[in-house]
A = this chain, B = another copy of it.
Amino acid sequence: MLESSSGPFIWHRRVEFCETDAAGIAHFSSFFLYMEQAEHALFRDIGTSIFPADFHEIRDHDPPFTFPRVRCECEYFAPVKFEQVIEMRVHVERLGTKSVTYHHEMLVADNVVARGRIIAVCSSHVQGKLTGCPIPERLRTSLSRYLMPSSESSA
C-alpha cells in the first residue's frame, strides 16, 4: 500500500544570464537543467544524492547507483526572462520497479510557463558497465511520497 502523497516537491530556481539567448529569453534547453536540478534537490531533500561522490569506485556489495535518463520532454507556454524565479513543482508520476517518471510544472508568478517530464532508470556500475537495477527499497519509499494523487507505483 502506498503512503499518502505529501504533494509536489517545491523548489525555486532563478533564471541566470548565461541561460538566456539572443531572443532575450531563457533558452529552451535550460528548462531541462531546471528539471534535473529540481530532481537533484529532491534527492538531497530525502537524504541521498543522485550521483554519489564514490560512484566510480568498484565495490562488490552495495554499489552506488545513479539515474540515467531514457526519455524527456518539455512543453513551453510562455517565455521566461533573466532573473525571473521559476517555481518548480515536482511530482513522481510513475514509480516502476526500475524506473521513475518525474512530472514538472514550472510557474512564474502563478502562471504555468512550462511542463515537462523526465523518465530515469535506476542503474549501478557493475564491472565497469552501467546496468539497470531495482530502485532500492528505502529510496522507493521516499519517492512514493511525491506520487501524484492519481498515480500508482508498481511494486
Contacts and interface: CB of A to CB of B under 8 A. Distances in A.
Contacts of A28: 32, 36, 68-69, 72
A25 interface: yes
A22 B37 contact: no
A53 interface: yes
A50 B81 contact: no
A17 B32 CA distance: 12
Size class of A's contact patch?
35 or more
Contacts of A32: 28-29, 32
Contact of A40 (B17, B29, B50, B69): B17
Give the 7 A-B CB pairs with smallest separation, nearest first. A73-B73, A20-B22, A29-B32, A28-B69, A22-B24, A71-B75, A20-B21
